[in-house]
Amino acid sequence: MRWKTRTTAFTAALAAVTAAAATALVAITFSAGPASADTGTGYLRTSGRNIVDSAGRVVRLTGINWFGMETDNKTFHGLWANAPATWKGQLDRMASLGFNTLRVPYSGDALKAGAVATGINDFTNPDLVGNSPLQILDKVITYAGTKGMRVILDRHRPTAAGQTPLWYTASVSEASMIADWVMLAQRYAGNPTVIGADLFNEPHAEGTDPNATGACWGCDVQARDWRLAAERIGNAVLAANPNWLIFVEGVSCLSGGVANEWDGIPDDPMACDWWGGNLSAAIDKPVRLNVANRLVYSPHEYGISVYDRQKWFNDPNFPNNLPAVWDFFWGKLAKQNVAPILVGEFGSTLANPLDVQWLTKLMGYIGENGLSFTYWSWNPNSGDTGGVALDDWYSINQTKYNILQPYLNPPSGNPNPTTPGPSVSPSRSASPSPSPSRSTSPSPSASPSTPPSPGTGACSKVVTITNSWQGGYQAEVRVTNTGTSAVNPWTVTWTVPSGVSLTNGWNATVTQSGTTFTAAAPNWSTSLAPNATAVIGFTATGPSSPAPSNVRLNGAACS
């Protein structure tokens, strides 16, 4: 991540442009697909604005960045932490909090023969000692897959020395970058935990117009046009592994340079965005890949703690002006059904109260439009944003998590369709405030050959009070079909104490009659296959003790 944008702009002109953008988008109709909440089965594809799994179910990736492999350590930061923040413990923690995807930044230095991973606590992580950066990555990917998580690899920098405006340098050629990608694509071929390649992190402007030397979009200069480079690199990756998704970030300024007010070159208020955030020209000048249904656009977006001179932060209508800005730079790609959007990085320390408004508005925009995301970052040592994790790499920043949590889809999917899907243990963190949650995590759907049958069968249950407060609580009811046939459609009921009233439910249609709560299967996941688990969440007013009881699946009592 990092920022840098144009140096000057005019607030009045910005207001006019954003108003025009908002007006232009009014006529666009948008209909979000069903929010299939797990990480799906098998490799992922795209279908219009959606990411779908091998069965065609809509998947929404709600992930987090865990960086370090792009630095001099050449491996994940935080491997120096004490228990319980072992490398597995941190992944357990991420999954239990509801992050279903891991974005892994790396640099070319970490892939070189003889690369050495440093900063590893040999007491808490003895199984990593002596491993190369790639061997540690292998272990993280394997373990993340057992949690139902997906992994996106991100070419963050050419070397550990730092971010560059172009995807290559004098010492690191485009050809060597492609060779690294091809190696990774082949290394993880056949492993659907790894879903794709974020080709290069934050291409951006350098120099002043008309003498720009940075990454442009659509300028047709082979050495600088990131759109053309993304096609070359992406097609090379797909030739090595056609199952991967290709994630393409934007640029900062379309021209590849910043405005030069001294020479009278105008500074278009909407010509520049965050590094990697400007995809405004991608509809007219799209990335063209040789394999259909593999392209995902991945902009970046940051708050005031990263860079406080973005003009939209000073708009008198802030934060209500922000959706028009996002529509213009990248949201229109999803709204016009061009391609899916995964917001690859966004974050803030939240030290400035305006950033709380920014992040809350952004998460609402992401949720309302059914977009995917990977938050920056897990790491507490991100200098300008901090992390979800605190300095012990295990406790969490509750303020950040409270804003993110309603939009998280726990990793209850199964990337490998040949093995049973894992379940995720309840979060061990302090839970979010009692705002209604919009996260979803349906069970795997039944095989298409399974005939609809209401069935009863046998079941097991786990009931967890995930949070409580004065006058109410949040709970999770997990029901596993332990029978030998699918239950289709499924219905789960449970009993609550007198005085408890339903506030909100998710992952099913939850209703109340007296002291009985009923969760009816959603229309996008009506069948509960053998060994599959339905996870229903709800909030309620009233006492949390005693906990919900008498859990039944289609009338059969669950053990």
Put residue 131 in one of left, alpha, beta given phi > 0 → left and psi -120 to 50 → alpha. beta
- Given 174, 202, 231, 301, which residue is catalytic? 202
Distance CA 413, CA 41 (A): 7
Closest by CA position to 44, among listed 121, 101, 85, 5: 101
Tokens at 253, concatenated: 């300024």
Secondary structure of 175-235 as H, E, C letters:
HHHHHHHHHHHHHCCCCCCEEEEECCCCCCCCCECCCCCCCECCCCCCCCEHHHHHHHHHH
CB atoms within 10 A of CB 420: 11
Would residue 345 show up in a list of annotated catalytic residues for this protein? yes
E-strand spans in 56-149? Answer: 58-59, 62-65, 101-107
* Residue whose pair of structure tokens reads 């992390």 in the numeric block: 387
Distance CA 99, CA 110 (A): 25
Would residue 231 show up in a list of annotated catalytic residues for this protein? no
Distance CA 72, CA 160 (A): 6
Strand partners, 512: 517
Task: Enumerate helices (H) and strands (E) in the chain, giving the number of each.
Answer: 9, 20
Give, as one character, the DSSP assignment of residue 127. Answer: G
Distance CA 80, CA 242 (A): 36
Give, as one character, the DSSP assignment of residue 327. Answer: I
Give, as one character, the DSSP assignment of residue 308. Answer: T
Put residue 207 in one of left, alpha, beta given phi > 0 → left and psi -120 to 50 → alpha. left
- Given 70, 174, 345, 476, which residue is catalytic? 345
Active-site residue list: 202, 345
